[in-house]
Amino acid sequence: MTLLIMAAGMGSRYGGLKQIDPIGEHGEVVIDYSVFDALKAGFTKVVFIIRRDIEQVFCEKFFNRIKEKINASYVFQDTPEWRKKPLGTTSAVLAAKDSIDGPFCVINADDYYGRDAFVKIAEYFKNNPESSAVMVAYKLKNTISDFGTVSRGVVGTDEKRNVKDIKEQIVIERNGKIIYMQNGAFIMGEPNANVSMNFFGFTPKIFPMLEKIYKDFLKNLGDNQSAECFLPENVARLIQEGKITMNVLETKDKWMGFTYPPDKQDVTKKIRKMIKKKIYPSPLWK
């Protein structure tokens, strides 16, 4: 199984290359912990998707120190010369298709997911090798930032625990209560609602479907500087069209991310606590 890590994001709200911001005691970054958890869960290969302009710093700060310890490589998500912004997460995944020959899991480089998610998705593919798609869903209450609003895709499922729909919501926590914002009004949210945090599992069967969608996107792109071809939206489209089914696995682990600059201190503090509890060794890669 391959872990595919999307590390080409701009980090606009965060204000920097958050993917390689140290949070561990020995310079470890959040990607280190995702890779470590995936290998513990049974993944055998890691592929990173990066931009060409961050290759040097990515290698110096991260890749060079782990490439001898794990089966890892990286590919480039290229962007047309006339445009500064990458073309979206579907473009990123397709950039890695020649590096993948079996079940794979797609995650964000700047998110901490917890080991349970990797264990569950690895076990799922061992028991369901022909499955077209799967996702790990988190409880909404375990994905909130203390420093600003977040957007979350609330997952609806059918009786077989397959995704029925994913509805994007803007979420904020106020006075310990979770609130959705809809049409300019605030309504109470369900803390235990399942939400998507871009933790998807696929087999290579997904590539031709995504390629068709992406080609259509490029045909209609013109000189648009901001339009992106988003993986979650396209997965939802394939589900609605009946081309794939996506099973939902649940985890009670707490997701942590770098949405806003103050999030770094919070994530660092929680990682250090897990080191003290011996969940992670320090240094991580001995």
Q: Is residue 221 part of a domain?
A: yes
Overall domain count for the chain:
1
Domain-embedded: residue 29: yes
> 10 falls in which pLDDT band (50, 70, 90)?
very low
Tell me how far apart the alpha carbons of residues 112 and 254 are, in angstroms, rounded to a whole number. 8
Q: Which is more confidently placed, 159 or 15? A: 159
Q: What's the pLDDT score for residue 179? A: 82
Provide the domain limits for residue 47: 2-136+196-276
pLDDT band at 131 (very low <50, low <70, confident <90, very high): confident
Assign 258 to helix, strand or coil. Answer: coil
CATH number, domain at 235?
Answer: 3.90.550.10
Closest CA to 1 of 101, 68, 89: 101
**Is 38 contained in some domain?**
yes
Q: Considering the domain boundaries, does residue 33 fall inside one?
A: yes
Residues 51-86 have pLDDT tens digits of 898 888 888 888 998 888 899 999 999 988 888 888
Do 117 and 42 form a contact (C-beta atoms < 8 A)?
Answer: no
The answer to the question of residue 158 being in a domain is no
From residue 46, how far is each of 23, 66, 174, 238 by CA, in Å?
A: 21, 11, 38, 26
Condensed to tens digits (0 to 9), the pLDDT of residues 189-209 reads: 888 999 999 899 999 999 999
Decide if 204 is inside a domain: yes
Examine residue 176 and state whether it is found in any structural domain, yes or no: no
d(Cα 29, Cα 74) in Å, to the nearest integer?
17
CA–CA dist 143, 172 (Å, integer): 11
| Most confident segment among 14-18, 186-190, 210-214 | 210-214
The CA distance from 2 to 98, in Å, is 12
* 142 domain residue, yes or no: no
DSSP string covering 81-117: TT-SS---HHHHHHHTGGG--S-EEEEETTEE--HHH
